[in-house]
Structure 1
Amino acid sequence: MKFISLALLFSLLILLQGCSSTHESSHQYALESYYHDEHFTRVNDLPAVESLFALSVSDITSVRNDLNRARLSKSSNVMRHQWLANYINAQDGGFRYADNLTRSASDTFGDREGNCLSLVLLTAAIAQELDIRVEYQEIDIPPVWDKQGGFYLVNGHINLKLLPQERGNVLNVSAGAIQIDFLPERAMQGYDKRRVSQSMVASMFYNNVAAEALVQGEYDKAYGLLKLSLQQDNQFLPAINTLAVLYRYRGLNAEAEALYKLALNINPDDMNALYNYAIILAEQDRLDEWAGVHKVLELARIRNPYYYYGMAQQAYFDKEYQAALNWYQRAIDKADYRHEFYFGLSRTYWATGDERRAEANMKKALALTNDSNNKRRYQSKLHAIQGHD
């Protein structure tokens, strides 16, 4: 996955849960007038919502056989949610994170890999079969950008918790909830989390596969999937935005604009809707309206520490080290808890020959990360700095 600049021109923005982030609202919205079936052909073989979290009989048998084998081993006293956490993350025969297509639980089980939303669906499906309670969480990570065809895709993040089961109506407090996260390199420090419902997770799934269909030019399929997404949660802003993008690709500009206005009525600060709405305004030479939207977008950009981080990264790779130092420092001024900012600052100081500051910032990066892979990486770099003659 690639981070790219927020200063995007002439391309449409789609928010994915391949992981994603959105805000839940307490209001409900009637969307029937925003659908335009007359412009699309009905697609009949779309996945039903109950199939998203379902496993086949053979899948369930395989899982239960593995659980029974574990119960016969020395670790037979391990609680079910602990066993499932180990099973999903097992190094040998487990499931691999692969940031590509979104899959249902059953497809993910068969392929043994999936993006974070696919793996969340799989974990939840297995938990359901084993009577393990789950909680879904959206994580407000900085956006991860990808470009496919004429689209910029913005990826967020979702994970889940496995909750300990009750024994004889008594909750086993000693065995706490276990967070299952398929992107361990992302330290969660400083990020807001919020619980979301299973219906919203289903909305995320349909929006993801609709975006994938849209990228492939399968407009009728994308339309059907987006209606399914909004049937699960009719205030789900990413799906409203994707539907508006689809309308634009079908030449339905007025219909797209109506959806962007709806999204902004739900959340006036929705950056994806604002960005795409600004494109329509610019294309139609509605410059006064465009200027108002663009001002909001610019304010959002300069408040985002990852804007400065992206500029710093570009300057570093262009060997413009003094500029990189300035950009990294501005990122740190906005978010001084992010380890990767200090790592970037350290390697830039190293490139300029300032070994003392390189070492100090590498130590800071090491202290801030909780991820074992990052710790090993930063420790190795620190040893190299300290061992340099």
Structure 2
Amino acid sequence: MKRLFEYKRAMLLLFFIVSGCASGPGKETLANIDQYFADEEFTAVAVQVTPDKLFSLPTQVINELRQDYKRSRMSRDYIATNLWLANYINADKGGFKYQDNLTKIPMDTFNARAGNCLSLVLLSASLADALGVDVEFQEVEVPPVWDKAGDFYLVNGHINLRLIPREKHDTFLADKNALQIDFLPERTMRGYAKRRIDRTTVMAMFYNNVAAESLVEGRYDQAYAYLKQSLKLKADFIPALNTLAILYRYKGLDDRAESLYKLALSRDSEDMNALFNYGVLLASQDRLEEWAQVHKTLELVRIRNPYYYYDMAQQAYSDHEYQTALIWYKRAVEKADYRHEFYFGLSKAYWATGDERRAKLNMQKALSLSVDEYNQRRYQAKLQAMQTH
């Protein structure tokens, strides 16, 4: 999922590495989104990808998928459909792989055997639909991953999905048997919070993505058409409100852009994207007192996020500045003393400085806090290596 930041006069952007908050629950969906559109400023173009294409595959692909599944069922003992599908998607040969490129519909992703995380999620959901497997979509609240394209910084979020198993009589099995499909597993190993989202939100994400890609390429009319589609699906989708505001600014429609930033912030007063871009607009108009208030809010959001300190620590560690890394890891622990990866970071930094006792203590703490099998094995192995050193 892509979000846009303006780049001109905005170099401070590089320092904001915290995730934006999700829209709060219980807020009514906007009923008057049409008043924020500016059809008269754009040439009408058709939306090239209609919503019905976002979870569909050619009949031939569906038939071949079902035949593969039936053959597998006949050649082995019973295997849950969701498990078979997970193996099919992640197969070493013939499976699908992550590739950070343009957002595509399932048919194109299937043919390419690769796609970005949103493209692969759409494909996986389409395959699940074909086999009658239910899915749950999850937005993973990872720190942003930055890309630069022309005058824009693109902030890449992350999405994955869970395949929900069923018994033969369409009775749901226990939730613990659901399988998570993630094409960037390192994003979830850190135990980031995940937020369930519905299919409509995923569709809105798609149109915001392709709109951002069109905007970067200078295809403003196409970007506008996609953004309208995104907001028609989900009127309070803040990333699309933000992208539309940026598009308005590039068309010289600052008043319309400001109204969208205010609308987005009325839905989530701490949304980093809207705050930052609104601040850029205010600075460009020399409205410095208002800019200062926005900047203050940005700073408060940033310093409350423990992963800000963690990522600063990780950077210092990679630069071999181990004492500095210790300072940042400790600050992360002060904000969230329940995160196993923070103690793992402390352990690494202490070991690098020669403080083996504290390194072992913090590795033990990381092990005690970890709940997933992968990290438990990893920490146990490192602890044993330390003890036999």
- TM (normalized to structure 1)? 0.86
Tell whether the 8 Å contact from 1:365 to 1:378 is kept in structure 2 after alignment: yes
Pairwise CA distance, 1:174: 9.5
Q: SS of the residue aligned with 2:186?
A: coil
> 2:76 aligned with 1:74, yes or no?
yes
Q: Assess, with a 3 A threshold, how the Cα gap between structure 1 residues 320 and 79 changes in structure 2: closer, same or farther.
A: closer
Aligned counterpart, 1:177: 178
| Residues 277-319 of structure 1 deviation map (CA, whole Å, 9 limit, x = unaligned) | 1111112111111121111111101101122123223333444
Q: Within 1, Cα distance between the matches of 2:90 and 2:338?
A: 27
Other-structure match for 2:94 = 93
Query: Matched residues in 1 for 2:377 and 2:362: separation?
Result: 16
Provide closer, same or farther for how the CA distance between residues 126 and 135 of structure 1 changes in structure 2, counting only shifts above 3 A: same
Match of 1:262 in 2: 263
Distance (whole Å) between structure 2 residues aligned to residue 114 and residue 175 of structure 1: 28
Question: How far 1:351 moved relative to its partner?
Answer: 2.4
Q: Which runs of 5+ in 2 are unaligned?
A: 2-7, 14-18
SS for the counterpart of 2:218 is: coil
**CA displacement 1:81-108 (0-9 Å, x = unmatched):** 2221222222332211233322211112
Q: Please state how far the C-alpha of 1:206 moved relative to its aligned partner.
A: 0.7
1:29 equivalent in structure 2: 31
- Contact 1:12–1:150 (8 Å) recurs in 2: no
Q: 1:291 to 1:171 in 2, by over 3 A?
A: closer
| Amino acid across the alignment from 2:97 | R
Map of 1:5 onto structure 2: none
Q: Distance in 2 between matches of 1:242 and 1:12?
A: 19
Matched, 1:333 2:334: yes
Deviations 1:4-53 (A, max 9, x none): xxxx961698xxxxx99742633323122221223323333520010011
Q: How does 1:63-212 map to 2 (within 5 A)?
A: 63-75=65-77, 77-168=78-169, 170-173=171-174, 176-187=177-188, 191-212=192-213
Contact (CA 8 Å) 1:241, 1:259: kept in 2 or not? yes
* Secondary structure of residue in 1 paired with 2:187: coil
- 5 Å-filtered alignment, 1:25-64, equals 25-44=27-46, 46-64=48-66
Decide which moves more: 173-182 or 231-240: 173-182
C-alpha displacement of 1:201: 0.8
Q: TM-score, normalised by structure 2?
A: 0.86
- In the TM superposition, what whole-angstrom CA distance separates every residue of 1:244-264 from its partner, at most 9, and x where no partner exists? 111122222221111101111
Structure-1 separation of matches of 2:336 and 2:43:
48
CA contact (8 A) 2:57 2:106 kept: yes
Counterpart CA distance in 1 for 2:99 and 2:340 is 24
Give the secondary structure class of the aligned counterpart of 1:93: coil
* TM-superposed deviation, 1:213: 1.9
- Structure 2: which amino acid aligns with 1:97? Y
Q: Where does 1:372-383 land on structure 2 (aligned, <5 Å)?
A: 378=379, 381-382=382-383
Contact 1:11 1:150 (C-alpha < 8 Å) held by counterparts = no
Structure 1 pair 376–171 and aligned structure 2 pair: CA distance change class (3 A): closer
Aligned to 1:101, what secondary structure does the other structure show? coil
Equivalent residues of 2:47, 2:226 under 8 A apart: no
Q: Deviations over 1:157-205 (max 9, x none)?
A: 3222222335346445598333323332234676444332211110011
Distance 2:169 2:350 in 1: 59
Aligned to 1:237: 238
Structure 1 residue 267: Cα displacement: 2.1
After TM superposition, the structure 1 stretch with the greater mean CA deviation from structure 2, 375-384 or 354-363, is 375-384
Paired-residue identity, %: 58
> How much is the aligned-residue C-alpha RMSD, in angstroms?
3.0
* Structure 2 CA distance for partners of 1:45 and 1:241, relative to 1, 3 Å: closer
User: For residue 281 of structure 1, what is the amino acid of its counterpart?
Assistant: L
